[in-house]
Structures are given as C-alpha cells and as structure tokens.
Amino acid sequence: MIARPPEPEGPGGVYIHIPFCSRRCTYCDFATVAGRDDAMEPYLAALHREIAELQHGAPQVIDTIFFGGGTPSRLTGSQIYDLVQAVRNRFDVLPGAEITLESNPEDLSAEAVARIRDAGVGRLTIGVQSLDPKVLREVGRGHDGDRALKAVEDARAANIGQVAVDLIAGLPGEDPGGWTATLRRLAVLRPDHFSVYLLETDKDTPLTRAMQAGRTARPEDDDLADAWEETTDYLESVGYRQYEISNFARTVPGERDRVSRHNLKYWQDLPYAGFGLGAHAYHQGERRGNRRDLDGYISDLAAGRDPVAELDRWDPVRRLEETLFMGLRLREGVDATRIGARYGLDLQESYRTVWENAEQQGLLVRSGDRIRLTRTGRLQSNAVFGALLGHLPLE
C-alpha cells in the first residue's frame, strides 16, 4: 500500500461550528452550549483567529463552506458575512461555491432569511425534526409544526437558492401516522433536500438517559426500519433520489440533483478544514477534532494554541477502510479501480471474501468497477462495514 497520503481528487471544503443554542434538545450530543450568548463575541474572535492561522495542512482550494451547530441561524447577517470573508481571505474559494447554513425554524422569518442570503449563504438547512407537536414538545424544540412549515415557505420566498430540511425518525411520542404526515406536509413545499436520521440511542444524551431509566420508551428497531422504508418509498415516489443512506436530493430534469456538495466531501474521501468548537477536519491523511469545551477553546486561541483534542494520524489501512465505509453509504457506491489506485492495492482482490459474503447475503452488488450496497444492504450496512474493518492488517 502507499506510504504517503494520496492527493485529493478535487477541491476541499470548510466546516465552521457555531455551538450556541437557545436551549438544548434532549437528543443532541453535539458540541453545543445553551445560555452562553455572553461568549458569542470572544468565540467569534477565536474562530477568526483559528481560520486565519491554524490547520496549515488544510486544502487551499475549496468549493464548499458549511456552517453547522449548534444553531448558526443565531448569528447576525454581518457575523455570517465576516466569517465567509475570513474563509475567502485564507482559502481560494472557487466561483459557484456552495455555502450552507443550518438554522432553527424559530430564528427564521422572511427578513431573517434575506439577511442570511445577503451574507452570502446559498443553501439553508432547516432543523424541522418533526411536525408532530407532541414530539417537538417532548424533545425540547423551540417551535411547533406550523412554525416549521412557515420557515420553509419563508426560505423559499426569500429565494435563498436551496432549502433543505432535516428530520429525525423515532423521536419519543412519534407514531407511524405522525411520521407519514410529517413527510407529506413537507414534501408538498418542495424543499431541495431531505436529511432523515434514525434516532440513535447509544450516545450520552438526556434522552438516552431517560430511556435507560425507563422514563421514555426506546424506539423499536423494527419501527425505525419501517420508518426508513416508508421514507425511502415515499420520497422516491415524489421526485427525490436517495443518494445516501439518510439523504434525499430533489431531482430536476436537465439539472444536477440538489445534493449537499459539502457532505459529499465526507463520503468521497475529499479533504476539509474544520474550525470551531468540537469541529473535525481531515487533511493530509490525518483526522483531527477540536476540544469541546467552550472556555478552553476560547482561551487556547487567545493564547495562539491549536485547540486540537483528537488526532488520528495517517495510516493507509484506516483511511482506506473509512473511504470504503463512507463511500458505500452512497447509492452509487465506490469505484474500486480508482480507490485501489489511490491506496495502492487491488480492492477487488484484497477484500474478495468480504464482497463475496455480502453478495451472497444480498447486501451488495459488483458491476464492473463499481461496488455498491443493495437497498437491503443499506439498511444492514453495518454488517458489511464491520467486515471491512480489520480485514487487512494495520500497517
């Protein structure tokens, strides 16, 4: 296998984390803070310093910027604009770059969306999660279903470019009828993109603790599988293509599908910088993650220190395994010849037994250079991914 990290196959991306929230949702385990708006200014100062001075290995040429959170819609238009400029000052941002910002419905109005748009954002994702009022109350969201629908309409009306909605299946209080209604009522508004997550109950969150204590019912695996099946069937029937296990892009004849170009970097082994609290980055074959405590992050940068907390050094086998399990999440799967050439091995041959076993179980198909999961394989993908890990000895 190759000794040094392969060259990236295209432009990179930049992720910027805005941890501030008005309240904490019970299912969330991201690096977020509620009630710390006092720290907004010093945090932004730290963020600017990190963007300007750190992560020297990050790709110079980029074509996506992603503001994630937390709740980036809590930023003012000029704060967003300044951060975009900071990225432009440091990186070569290609024309037509995708600039995405995550938002909560309660922060959005026609004027608010216009300000976000004018700051340079061309893609707005809205954290709807559910339209069921019972569910929204239960998990501590700050909006109801109507507010969420209104936010999508406002975003559309403001002509922000692309509007995406994020949903979570399996939240407490949800029933199959409510989930169907959520999908249908949103789909008629024709957002460009749906991200649909199945609730994860392995993280340390207030919700998981409530489930462990028996205060809240844990979603049944079968119900989650049903929700995934229903979502896939329904969204595909109304003009969305499932291009990744939990992502659906609107297809428009004669145009490119409305995929998340930034998220594709993660699935296609492309490099990205990651700035801000708990932000992760991948460049020069290394994965790194920043510390997750707000004050520590701010003081690190005040002192000019790199706030890195996790570092996973270059290892060709680990990176190859990740390239495979991330790439196989895509509907199109992976190109065995190209990845094999990048990492310096015969992918078909080296993982032959993995592919064959998965094929026998109906989880995977190989045709020519391409290896991809079947629909069943997508729902059972961990069986294939698990088999990939450790199949080759680590170098």
Partner 1 sequence: MDSCLIWGKNRDGPLMNIRNFSIIAHIDHGKTTLSDRLMEATGAISDREKHDQMLDTMDLERERGITIKSHAVTLRYKADDGQTYQLNLIDTPGHVDFNYEVSRSLAACEGALLVVDASQGVEAQTLANTYLAVDNDLEVIPVLNKIDLPNAEPDRIAEQIEEIIGLDATHAVHASAKAGIGIREILEAVVSQVPPPSGSLDAPLKALIFDSWYDPYRGVVMLVRVMDGSLATGMKIRLMNTGGRYEIEELGAFAPKPVVRTSLSVGEVGFIIAGVKIISDCQIGDTVTSDAEPAAEPCTGFEEVKPMVFAGLYPTDADQYEGLRDAMEKMRLNDASFSFEPESSTALGFGFRCGFLGLLHMEIIQERLEREFDLDLLTTAPGVPYQVTTTSGEELEIHNPSLLPERGSIATVREPVIDSTIITPPEYLGNIMKLCEDRRGVQKKLSYLAKARVLLEYELPLNEVVLDFYDKLKSGTRGYASLDYRLAGFREGPLVKLDLLVNGSPVDALSLICHRDKAEQKGRNLATRMKELIPRQMFEVVVQAAIGGKILCRETIRPLGKNVLAKCYGGDITRKRKLLEKQKEGKRRMKRVGRVDIPQDAFLAILKVD
Min dist. Cβ of residue 85 to partner 1 (A): 23
Where on the chain is the footprint of partner 1 (CB under 8 A)?
A: 15, 30, 195, 197-200, 202, 220-222, 224-226, 228, 245-246, 263, 265-267, 272, 274, 278-282, 287, 289, 310, 312, 318, 321-322, 325-326, 329, 361, 378-383, 385-387, 389-390
Min dist. Cβ of residue 358 to partner 1 (A): 10
C-beta of 286 vs 306, nearer to partner 1: 286
End-to-end CA distance of the chain: 9
CB pairs under 8 A, 24+ apart, for 358-367? 358/383, 358/384, 358/387, 366/336
How far is 109 from 28, CA to CA, in rounded Å?
24
Min dist. Cβ of residue 60 to partner 1 (A): 18
Min dist. Cβ of residue 202 to partner 1 (A): 7
**Residue 56 Ramachandran class (φ > 0 left, ψ -120 to 50 alpha, else beta):** alpha
How far is 242 from 231, CA to CA, in rounded Å?
10
C-beta of 112 vs 196, nearer to partner 1: 196
Alpha helices in 175-315 (DSSP H): 176-187, 206-212, 221-237, 261-267, 294-302
Q: Do the Cβ atoms of 327 and 339 come closer than 8 Å?
A: yes
Q: What angle do CA 136, 141, 142 make, to 5 degrees?
A: 120
Helices (H) and strands (E) in the chain, counts: 16, 17
C-beta of 158 vs 364, nearer to partner 1: 364
C-beta of 240 vs 266, nearer to partner 1: 266
Min dist. Cβ of residue 288 to partner 1 (A): 9
Min dist. Cβ of residue 255 to partner 1 (A): 25
Give the up-direction half-sphere exposure of residue 208: CA atoms within 13 A in the CB hemisphere: 10
C-beta of 185 vs 280, nearer to partner 1: 280
C-beta of 116 vs 379, nearer to partner 1: 379
Min dist. Cβ of residue 158 to partner 1 (A): 26
Structure tokens at 161: 């470019």
C-beta of 43 vs 272, nearer to partner 1: 272
